[in-house]
Structure 1
Amino acid sequence: MSAEELCLKLNYQFNKLDLLQQALTHRSYSSQNNERLEFLGDSILNCIITGLLFKCFPDSNEGDLSRFRASLVNQRALSALALVLDLGKEIRLGDGELKDDGYSRPSILADSLEAILGAIYLDAGFEGVQRVVTTLFMSRINKINLDTLEKDPKTILQEYLQKHKLPLPHYSVIATSGDAHQQLFRIECSVRTLGISEFGEGVSHRNAQQKAALLVYKRIHLYSKKSKKNGTII
């Protein structure tokens, strides 16, 4: 598949094709890679999806909207969309990732899709990337069913803290290890007002955050039970 074919699938024509090329360049291939674009695209995607959900579900509360968003922008959902777009064929990977079938790895596919959205933002501004995101995600938004959505650990932890009027958790990268094509991230999740923190490790930031969030939730849940026995509630 050529860059032109990918642009057709995105329903967007780049003014600067070098931005698209960078968005499709994994860190294992070059130091001039898509990590910064992925960071930008992740934030923009969350912003646009949040706006679309706010308009499409006027009667839904904050917790439900958060679940809707999580179901659309998690690694599994984004990598599935990337497969539909055949992104794997276009991603530039180093030899190590090629040997390990990196072109089909969910984390690489999801990150590359977000990087493309970041590139479109730089190429056409917010309205340009908003049109692309709306086209890509609107059919998925229309199929959202609250009854069939599963909550991920980050969502569960966030909703629990909001219910008890506590500040949201803070996530920070503690360490990164491994070769460029097989990095492992160690992330801390902390609820500072409770003095609770846990660590999670994973092949992506999202994966590590989910693991850390699950451990924090379990500790808070245990702490809550002990507090109730002592006559106090979080």
Structure 2
Amino acid sequence: MAKKEAGISEDELTKRIKRAKLVNQDEVKEAETVARIRTLTEQEETMIKKVDKALNALRSLLQDCPDDFFSQNHGIKKKTEIDRRIHLAMSLKNLYNEGGLAWLDVDYSAKREKDIVSDKNFSLLPLSKLAQGVTNIVASSTAWPPPRPAINSQAITRRVFRHKSLANENSQRSKTKDSGSYERFEFIGDSVVNSTLSFLLYFAFPQASEGELSELRSTFVSNQNLASWAALYGFGMELQVTDSVAKTTDVMSNTKVFADLFEAYIGGLTEEGRSEDAQSWIMALALPGIVRQKRLSKRELPLDKLAKVKLYEALGGIEQNKVEYVTERPAVTGGQGEDRLFTVCAMVHGKVLGRGNALNLRDAGARAAMDALSRPLMVAEARKEGYSTL
């Protein structure tokens, strides 16, 4: 029992006791919260140390792992099955060389990135999501083209597809906000398209220089490419123009207009607060082009004229593992781009180990062998299959 002080009523004493108890309870809660935070901080620090240790170990492994391990060791372990952990290491090295482990090159000790740009209507995808999207590029089996994310607002949708000619005509009749054209949406959409593709290319091509990345981006953001994406979804059928403009101009087939429509649609999604949906859509549309560019970048590696010999040795140098170089696609006389190139497959036991493209069959065959050598697991399996028939 609390001792009653002189001159203090029973009610006042009761109130003081209650206040003291409340203060004590708050202090206890605060102490418990501090203890929980300290425990979580200690757990975070422990996890961070373990993650750093694992990342450094993996980086060290990839650095020490030679690209041509199997050919280097031919003759030392001719028939002995190589440890599966070596196969795993080589698979990781191959995946890293193809850009599939781009997250390994990220400096995680730096201040953590939140959204690159963020407010209630506009937020770029976090770097981690972009990096994950790139990591899954080669293995992606998602149907293409991806579904178009619908804009929920009818007012925004109308404006996205309204040409300035119709907007000007409407503005003479009405002063409402909904009478504008798609040009304002195009402005912000252009920014989102450029930013998203810049980050995507940055992670997809970790070895590319600034100039090479700029050149790649210009291909993806070109009017021709954006117009082709718009055409996939029939944007031209939804474009609203005045009859006079439709009859007297090429607006309904103009590449620049279609590209602007695509950017306006991205802007419409952003206006609706769905910029992440817009970016995911852009990434999905760009995936085939990314894969194609990665294959082209492989072809630009210095030609190894001894690649066929190295592949023969990696397969054990036996008749049972003879490599057949089959022309998959001949070059087109007077063709442009990839049509100018021969495509050759390196096949063993009826299975394709690698493909190569070049201006002549000899170099295409060498590049097919180089491609096969970059897949050590497949080479090892083919080698084993040949030896099993001896």
Offset from partner CA, 1:168-198 (integer Å, 9 cap, x none): xxxxxxxxxxxxxxxxxxxxxxxxxxxxxxx
Identify if the C-alpha distance between structure 1 residues 147 and 72 changes in structure 2 by more than 3 Å, giving closer, same or farther: farther
Q: What TM-score, normalized by structure 2, do the two folds share?
A: 0.34
1:48 corresponds in structure 2 to 196
User: What is the DSSP-based 3-state SS (H/G/I as helix, E as strand, rest coil) of the residue aligned with 1:29?
Assistant: helix
User: What is the DSSP-based 3-state SS (H/G/I as helix, E as strand, rest coil) of the residue aligned with 1:21?
Assistant: helix
* Residue 216 (structure 2) pairs with residue 79 (structure 1): no
8 Å CA contact 1:9–1:85 kept in 2: the answer is no
Higher RCO structure (Cα 8 Å, ≥6 apart): 1
Please state how far the C-alpha of 1:141 moved relative to its aligned partner. Answer: 2.0
2:187 corresponds in structure 1 to 39
8 Å CA contact 2:148–2:233 kept in 1: the answer is no
* Residue 257 (structure 2) pairs with residue 93 (structure 1): no
2:286 corresponds in structure 1 to 137
Please state how far the C-alpha of 1:9 moved relative to its aligned partner. Answer: 6.3
1:194 corresponds in structure 2 to none
Q: What TM-score, normalized by structure 1, do the two folds share?
A: 0.56
2:385 corresponds in structure 1 to none
8 Å CA contact 2:161–2:240 kept in 1: the answer is yes
8 Å CA contact 1:28–1:93 kept in 2: the answer is yes
| Partner Cα distance (1:28, 1:147) in 2 | 47
| Partner Cα distance (2:219, 2:182) in 1 | 24
8 Å CA contact 1:41–1:114 kept in 2: the answer is yes
Identify if the C-alpha distance between structure 1 residues 10 and 122 changes in structure 2 by more than 3 Å, giving closer, same or farther: farther
| Partner Cα distance (1:33, 1:58) in 2 | 39
Q: Alpha carbon RMSD of aligned pairs, Å?
A: 2.1
Please state how far the C-alpha of 1:64 moved relative to its aligned partner. Answer: 0.5
* Residue 240 (structure 2) pairs with residue 103 (structure 1): no
| Partner Cα distance (2:147, 2:259) in 1 | 15
Please state how far the C-alpha of 1:10 moved relative to its aligned partner. Answer: 4.2
| Partner Cα distance (1:9, 1:87) in 2 | 15
| Partner Cα distance (2:271, 2:208) in 1 | 32
User: What is the DSSP-based 3-state SS (H/G/I as helix, E as strand, rest coil) of the residue aligned with 1:60?
Assistant: coil
Matches within 5 A, 1:184-195: none
Offset from partner CA, 1:31-88 (integer Å, 9 cap, x none): 4100000011001100000010011111111000001100001111111222222111
Which protein is richer in strand relative to its size? 1
Identify if the C-alpha distance between structure 1 residues 57 and 9 changes in structure 2 by more than 3 Å, giving closer, same or farther: closer
* Residue 214 (structure 2) pairs with residue 66 (structure 1): yes
1:159 corresponds in structure 2 to none
| Partner Cα distance (1:147, 1:101) in 2 | 40
| Partner Cα distance (1:120, 1:39) in 2 | 13
Q: Percent identity?
A: 27
Residue identity matched to 2:206: P
* Residue 154 (structure 2) pairs with residue 17 (structure 1): yes
User: What is the DSSP-based 3-state SS (H/G/I as helix, E as strand, rest coil) of the residue aligned with 1:115?
Assistant: helix
Matches within 5 A, 1:116-195: 116-144=265-293, 145=296
| Partner Cα distance (2:253, 2:150) in 1 | 25
Please state how far the C-alpha of 1:101 moved relative to its aligned partner. Answer: 3.7
What is the total number of aligned residue pairs between the two structures? Answer: 141
8 Å CA contact 1:37–1:116 kept in 2: the answer is yes
| Partner Cα distance (1:88, 1:10) in 2 | 17
| Partner Cα distance (2:206, 2:298) in 1 | 17
Please state how far the C-alpha of 1:97 moved relative to its aligned partner. Answer: 2.6
| Partner Cα distance (1:9, 1:126) in 2 | 16
Structure with bigger gyration radius: 2
Residue identity matched to 1:91: L
Residue identity matched to 2:236: G
Instruction: Structure 1: give runs of 5+ residues left out of the alignment.
Output: 1-7, 149-234
Identify if the C-alpha distance between structure 1 residues 82 and 147 changes in structure 2 by more than 3 Å, giving closer, same or farther: farther
Please state how far the C-alpha of 1:138 moved relative to its aligned partner. Answer: 1.7
Offset from partner CA, 1:115-139 (integer Å, 9 cap, x none): 0001111123331211111122222
| Partner Cα distance (1:96, 1:88) in 2 | 17
